Structure 1
Amino acid sequence: MEPCDAVVVGAGPAGLTAAIYLARFRRRVLVLGAGPSRASWIPESHNTPGFPHGVGGTDLLARLTEQAHAFGVHIREALVRTLTPAAEGFEISTGARTIRAPAVLLATGVRDRMPELPGIEAAVCRSVVRMCPICDAYEATGKRIAVLGDGGLAQREAAFLRTYSDDVTVIGSGDGRLSFDTAAVRWTPSGDAAPQVFDHLYLALGCEPQTELAVRCGARCDDSGNLTVDPHQMTSVEGLYAAGDVVRGLNQISVATGEAAIAATAMHNRLRGQAP
């Protein structure tokens, strides 16, 4: 069994930021990540503080990873299968190995609901398809915008986007056919209506917080399925913390890193035997 002071589950902006803080607190910290971070989908972010000319998701993650390694953080590609409360902390199992730690941070994020459309991943990489109006609606100012989704979420996103463009159309799931060109979206509606072309398609299909490990551990979630935390980012399970998109619906890098800093500091103080 491998000992350490803290385990961080998730290697996105929240997880890596927390690991950097913990390492600088001189804690033995292990980051376990499985698969690419959601942030890697970002072609270029212009609202991440400190990058006046923008920064791509993969570049940002590479910088955070380099910074974490510089302070001695161990980062391993591994899927955490079980998280179990144990004497003086938790046991984390990847199937191949078991790690014991007195404190754990979950930065497991969310999984976007993606429509089954040919070429959609490439269209996301080209910024033709987008998932976050808060992140990049500014760059769509005055453009022809479509919003794909049903119900209140799609209507709310369309209303938000109309503060940037007067040309916003809501497309219901399964209504007609969508296809992607190099720099445009083509929609052929059901029936006899004429095809339309848009500069951007925003997905308003929702996402699923990745809370399974925490819930099996006894952590509570809110009505939206996000983990509930106290002011120091601790869940309802003592010693189990959470930060980033898995906590609340405002899925922003700056929010994730801020929560990670709060959580890491509280974890360090808890390990010192002090109040947060």
Structure 2
Amino acid sequence: MTDLWSTPADVPLDCLIVGGGPAGLTAALYLARFERRFMIADAGDSRASWIPTSHNVPVFAEGVSGKEILARQREHVARYGGRVVHGTVTALHKAEGSFVARITRADANVPIEVRARRVLLATGADDVEPNFPDLPDAVRRGLVRYCPICDGYEARGRRIGVIGHGDRGLGEAVFVARTYSRDVTLLTLGRDLDLDADGSARVAKHGIKIVRDPVIDLDVEADRISVLRTACGAEHRFEVLYSALGLKIRSELAVALGADHDGTGALNVDEHNRTTVPGLYAAGGVVRGLDQIVVAMGHGAVAATDIHNRCELPTEEEVDGGAAKPGA
């Protein structure tokens, strides 16, 4: 990798990667091996770090924690001289054919400005937390799971509660019921759930129970919530709880630049993971689509390769969205 720190400060980076999760670190590995000048700005709050064990990451047959994945990825990037600035990108704008990012560092009071010809946003998302009494951050603390695709297999046949409402909540309850367990309860935590004929038919088909009352008390055993008490005085016991309350997409930087996105804020990208803003790429949980570690890694690899192939092209030429040929 070209020495980032020996190059004059007024020469922009080839790429600034915003976010040090699976997507950003995969992109960093590729760019390092392409010998490109890049920097990773990482706020240190990757959602992947919440994962106790995932069995959906190929090669790790016995499962691997999110923290171990991140640690291994950081060590891998470091072998090629990849550098990480521990801080938050608080502003991003375009100027004179490049991007200018303001980074508030964790180890300094004075923010720094970084110029880069291209930017890859790998900022991810946060789960909307359930409003449990006297129990903040239940998902972040691992008391409630958030990905039945990742670990639903290990919960098969168990008594499962799904926290959610609306189409998203019902959809996840149906997914869990038809895939992993016939004992599924949808908990709306007091929110309305108006079922049309199709929704009622899906509930009946999969034997899903619905609890509409708010939760007023609960019991925690080890690393899980075992009992929920509702306002009507009923107790509900579960072996596994999943939250399906949605995500807060961390796409503010891209949206401020005018990047196209869906109603949730998830960014729309093309087959090269380019956003609609020339020179701005996105990968991982901030992108519309399947929210999985291996998908995020794939996004990072695709974006980094396209960034490398287009490094000698001015970003203004990217308006047409045309793909560059390898080695261009």
Do these two structures clear the TM 0.5 threshold for a shared fold by scoring above it? yes
Query: Structure 1 residue 188 and structure 2 residue 229: aligned?
Result: yes
Matched, 1:22 2:31: yes
Q: Aligned letter for 2:99?
A: F
Name the aligned partner's letter for residue 260 of structure 1: G
**1:6 paired to 2:21:** no
- 1:39-78 residue pairs with structure 2 within 5 A? 39-78=48-87
The separation in 1 between residues aligned to 2:80 and 2:229, in whole angstroms, is 53
The Cα shift of 1:225 comes to 2.0
What is residue 115 of structure 1 aligned with on the other side?
A: 130
Distance 1:23 1:190, change over 3 A: same
What do the CA deviations read for 1:11-60 (whole angstroms, capped 9, x no partner)?
00000000110010000110001132100000011001110111001011
Residue 149 of structure 2 aligns with an amino acid whose one-letter code is: I
Cα distance per residue 1:187-246 (max 9 Å; x no partner) = 1122143x1210111101100111100111121112332111111111111110000110
Is 1:166–2:205 an aligned residue pair? no
Q: CA deviation at 1:108?
A: 0.5
What is the aligned-residue identity percentage? 47
Provide the secondary structure at the position in 2 that maps to 1:54.
Answer: coil
> How far off its partner does 1:105 sit?
0.2
**Which one of the candidate residues 192, 208, 220 is aligned to 2:248?**
208
Deviates more, 1:164-173 or 1:59-68: 164-173
Find the counterpart in structure 2 of residue 250 from structure 1: 290
Does structure 2 conserve the Cα–Cα contact (< 8 Å) formed by 1:6 and 1:102? yes
Q: Does 2:163 match 1:148?
A: yes
- Whole-Å separation in 2 of the counterparts to 1:222 and 1:189: 35
Normalising by structure 1, report the TM-score: 0.94
The residue identity in structure 1 corresponding to 2:144 is V
Unaligned runs of 5+ in 2: 1-8, 105-110, 191-213, 314-322
**Correspondence list, 1:130-149, <5 A:** 130-149=145-164
**1:122, 1:196 → 2: CA distance?**
17
Q: Pick closer, same or farther for the CA change 1:19–1:165 going to 2, 3 Å.
A: same
One-letter amino acid matched to 2:180? Y
Question: Structure 2: how far apart are the matches of 1:83 and 1:30?
Answer: 15
Runs of 4+ in 1 over 3 A off after TM superposition: 116-125
| Contact residue 129 and residue 139 of structure 2 kept, 8 A | no
Residues 128 and 185 in structure 1, CA contact (< 8 A), matched pair in contact too: no
Give distance in 2, aligned partners of 1:124 and 1:86.
Answer: 38
Letter in 2 for 1:257: M
May I ask how many residue pairs the two structures share in their alignment? 274
Q: Is the 8 A contact 2:99 2:118 kept in 1?
A: yes
Tell me, yes or no, if the aligned pair for 1:119 and 1:180 is still in contact at 8 Å: no
CA contact 2:13–2:38 (8 Å) conserved in 1: yes
Counterparts of 1:210-249 in structure 2 under 5 Å? 210-249=250-289
Task: Give the stretch that moved more between structures: 257-266 or 222-231.
Answer: 222-231
Alignment partner of 1:176 is 2:215 = yes
Kindly provide the amino acid, as one letter, of the partner of residue 259 in structure 2: A
Cα-to-partner distance string for 1:232-270 (whole Å, 9 max, x where unaligned): 111111110000110124110010000110000000011
| RMSD, matched Cα | 1.8
Find the residue that maps to 1:155 and give its secondary structure: helix
Q: In structure 1, what is the Cα distance between the partners aligned to 2:140 and 2:52?
A: 8
